[in-house]
Amino acid sequence: MNIGRVIGTVVATRKDETLIGSKLLITQPLNLRLFPEGAARVMVDTVGAGVGELVIYASGAAARNAAKRSEGAIDMAIVGIIDTLNTDKSWLTVYGIGDGKEDEFLE
């Protein structure tokens, strides 16, 4: 699973029939310092997330299972809404996520 922030919505009147009834949201993947990492993605929302919320998302078979569409055209799905996120900042540096200058962003 990964962390992301919902940054928009998608309305598609014509889509694969396995997506009918699915809410589609544009989500920006984030690193553990909550900074953007990679390109934004369109994901199926399984939990009722909204724009601006910090979310947990899954990909592949886990996403299809969460959406209860094992044969669906689903690659990524939002599976949780994050209320609180706590990290030990000393480990972030060990794993090469930033140089510590972004600490004020998390606080």
CATH domain 2-106 topology: OB fold (Dihydrolipoamide Acetyltransferase, E2P) (2.40.50)
Return averaged pLDDT per consecutive 10 residues of the chain, 107 residues in all. 96 90 95 92 95 95 81 87 82 55 47
Cβ-based neighbour number of residue 65 at 10 Å: 15
Alpha carbons 18 and 71: distance in angstroms, whole number: 8
3-state SS, 60-73, equals CHHHHHHCCCCCCC
pTM of the predicted structure, to 2 decimals: 0.80
User: What is the pLDDT, as a whole number, of residue 19?
Assistant: 87
User: What is the pLDDT, as a whole number, of residue 69?
Assistant: 76
- The residues spanned by each domain of the chain are 2-106
